[in-house]
Amino acid sequence: MKTLLLSLFIGFTILCNAQTEQEIAGDWQFYTVKSDTDIPTEKLDRAAALMNTMVLKLNTDKTYAMAFMGLSETGKWELKEKKIEFTTSDNKSYGYDILAFEKNLLTLDQKKFAIVLSRVGAKVPPPHSEPKPKKIYVTAYTPQLTKKWYLKSCPAPENFTDTQKDAFGEMLSGSYIEFKTNGKCTLQLGDKKETGQWNLNPDKNGITTTLKNIPTAMYFIKINATDLVITEADSYDDWIFSVVE
């Protein structure tokens, strides 16, 4: 259950004063999810749909019960400064930072998402979703793109350690993507090489490809004579290329 929770929570940067155990003890239920990063609304909506059955009972005797999506977990809980630490009944430990606290609202953080819980039975206003600033992409044209671009950086799997990320970067050394004027493209990614088709999207601010080892749709963050930065349409992770190997 911990793994599932960790995959759904996102980073959030609200500071809060330290709470007491008496203040946060009680019954809590899902209220909303939040993000202070430029994450697509549909991703937050999917996270909310998964988490909307979540309930968390923090008992005054330091026991807890958590449940959602038909899963349940029990154990002991403890408040350490601005963090709630849990020890499950099978002796596994993890914790959530408290990002914000009101009498009836509790915001918890893990990695990429934050979840807000409301106190069961309390009167709280409907969740308010603030509009996110629209990400601005640059436009590009075929002559700018039709060349060989060497990969300088791309997202490593999130569960990689720093050592594994370094090895991942070395493995990708020499990787490139080449866009050709006839609509064909070649991708060399580590020891994997493939060919496919590419197209500018109608707004000319991104591309689509048929390549299997790179996201199908990507948008231009930066393009000039020597540098190309494109971002994944789904995750907003950046791929950085250069004409210099």
59-93: per-residue pLDDT in tens? 999 999 999 777 899 999 999 988 999 999 999 99
Phi, psi at residue 84, to the nearest 5°?
A: -95, 120
Domain boundaries, the chain: 2-119, 142-242
CATH number attached to the domain at 2-119: 2.40.128.20
Percent of residues, the chain, with pLDDT higher than 90: 53
pLDDT tier at 236 (50, 70, 90 boundaries)? Answer: low
**Is the pLDDT confidence value at 158 over 90?**
no
Phi, psi at residue 160, to the nearest 5°?
A: -75, 145
The listed range with the strongest mean pLDDT (79-93, 132-146, 148-162, 224-238) is 79-93
Rounded Cα–Cα distance for residues 45 and 49 (Å): 6
What angle is formed at CA 99 by the lines to CA 74 and CA 50, rounded to 5 degrees? Answer: 55
Percent of residues, the chain, with pLDDT higher than 70: 84
Helix (H) or strand (E) holding 41: helix 41-51
Closest alpha carbon to 67 in 76, 57, 55: 55
19 CB contacts (<8 Å, ≥6 apart)? 79, 82, 98, 101
Rounded Cα–Cα distance for residues 234 and 218 (Å): 9
Rounded Cα–Cα distance for residues 59 and 21 (Å): 10
**Is the pLDDT confidence value at 12 over 70?**
no
pTM for this model (two decimals): 0.49
CATH 3.90.400.10 for domain 142-242: no
